[in-house]
Structure 1
Amino acid sequence: MTTTDTIAALALAVAVVAAVAAIGSWKAARNANGAAQTLSRIEEQRLHADLTPHFRCTVVANESRSTAMLRVHLEGPPGLLSHGSIEITASLRNDNPHRGDGPHLAGTPTPEEVRAHIWGPWKFSADGRDDTGRTVAPQQLAVGEWTRYGLTPSTPPSWSADTADDWRRDYANAPLRLSITARSKGSAWTVPLEVSVTTEGTA
């Protein structure tokens, strides 16, 4: 092997080593960037979970249980204080999340109709409610403040053989199943709640 060949071989070896080192550096940088992104996502998720709103709710019905009042108090967490007022939307959940999941038989209500009906003791009567009384319009609420919503008894679906009295008896001791969605600064939380109903004079 001539001196020129030796020099060329050494140059090639140096180039290969440099290329391997460059690839290694690129992989290390990519892995470091991926790890940083993963840590950032974990931190964002932790902060989001730490800011999940805490609600304290009460429902008080009049003696005849012809009306009731839902009171929603935003208790925290303290981290939400920096957000000022947050937007909350209250809606009612059915007594069973699987309502409407069964097979649809001819002559029976569709799964959508079943799910759309309010299967529970109360519906919203407050201003801004939707047509069914399941959901009310969003409100702004700050930590430490409260709002309230009027309620009236729900009714059996049109296809049911139950009377209104049967329906009320079935749900006499049922809680109000709520879902409160809170939004602030691009973040959103959905908080499920079950609230026992008390009667005026016993609350």
Structure 2
Amino acid sequence: MTTTDTIAALALGVAIVAAFAAIGSWRAARNANGAAQTLSRIEQQRLHADLTPDFRCTVVANEARSTAMLRVHLEGPPGLLSHDAIEITASIRNDNPHRGNGPQLAGTATPEQVRAHIWGPWKFSADGRDDTGRTVAPQQLAVGEWTRYGLTPTTSPTWSTTSTPDWLRDYADAPVRLSITARSKGSVWTVPLEVPVTTEGTA
């Protein structure tokens, strides 16, 4: 092997070593970048969880249980104070999350009809409610403040043979199952709640 060949072989070896070093550096940088993104995502999730709104709710019905009032108080957390007011949307959940999931029998209500009906004691009567009374229009609420919504008793499904008095009796001791969706600065939280119903004079 001539001197020129030796020099060329050495140069090739150096180039190969440099290439492997470059690949190693690229992989290390990629791994470091992936680790940083993972840590950032975990931190964002932690901050999001720490700012989950804390609601205190009460439902008080009149003595005849012909109307009721839902009061929603936004108690915290303190971190939300920097968000000013947040947008909240209250909805009523069914007594069973699996309503309408079973097979449809001939001549019975469709799964969509079953899911659309409010299976619980109360629905919204407040301004801005939807056609079924399940959801009310969004509104702004700041930490430490409260709002309220009117409620009215539900009725049995139109396809049911259960009478309304029997329906109401079945739900006499049932809580109002709420889902409050809160939005602020690009963040969204959904808070499920079960609120017991008290009667005026006993609350």
TM-score, normalising length from structure 1?
0.99
Q: Which amino acid aligns with 2:157?
A: P
Q: Which amino acid aligns with 1:187?
A: S
Aligned position for 1:30: 30
Aligned position for 1:96: 96
SS at match of 2:74: strand
Post-superposition CA distance 1:70-122 (Å, at most 9, x none): 00000000000000000000000000000001101121110000000000000
SS at match of 1:174: coil
Aligned position for 1:162: 162
Q: Distance in 1 between matches of 2:102 and 2:36?
A: 46
Q: Distance in 2 between matches of 1:165 and 1:117?
A: 17
Show structure 2 runs of 5+ residues with no match: none
Q: Distance in 2 between matches of 1:164 and 1:9?
A: 94
* 2:89 maps to 1:70: no
Q: Distance in 2 between matches of 1:155 and 1:86?
A: 33
CA drift at 1:2: 1.1
Q: Distance in 2 between matches of 1:113 and 1:185?
A: 35
SS at match of 2:73: strand
* 2:116 maps to 1:116: yes
Q: Which amino acid aligns with 1:111?
A: P
Q: Distance in 2 between matches of 1:107 and 1:161?
A: 14
CA drift at 1:47: 0.4
Q: How does 1:1-203 map to 2 (within 5 A)?
A: 1-203=1-203
SS at match of 1:191: strand
Q: Which amino acid aligns with 1:117?
A: H
Q: Which amino acid aligns with 2:83?
A: H
CA drift at 1:130: 0.2
Show structure 1 runs of 5+ residues with no match: none
Q: Distance in 1 between matches of 2:96 and 2:163?
A: 20
Q: Distance in 1 between matches of 2:55 and 2:23?
A: 53
SS at match of 1:118: coil
How many residues are matched?
203
CA drift at 1:37: 0.4
Q: Distance in 2 between matches of 1:86 and 1:160?
A: 40
Q: Distance in 2 between matches of 1:178 and 1:153?
A: 15
SS at match of 1:148: strand
Q: Distance in 2 between matches of 1:31 and 1:16?
A: 22
Percentage identity across paired residues of the two chains: 87
SS at match of 2:189: strand
Q: Distance in 2 between matches of 1:109 and 1:167?
A: 17
Q: Which amino acid aligns with 1:115?
A: R
Q: Which amino acid aligns with 1:73?
A: H
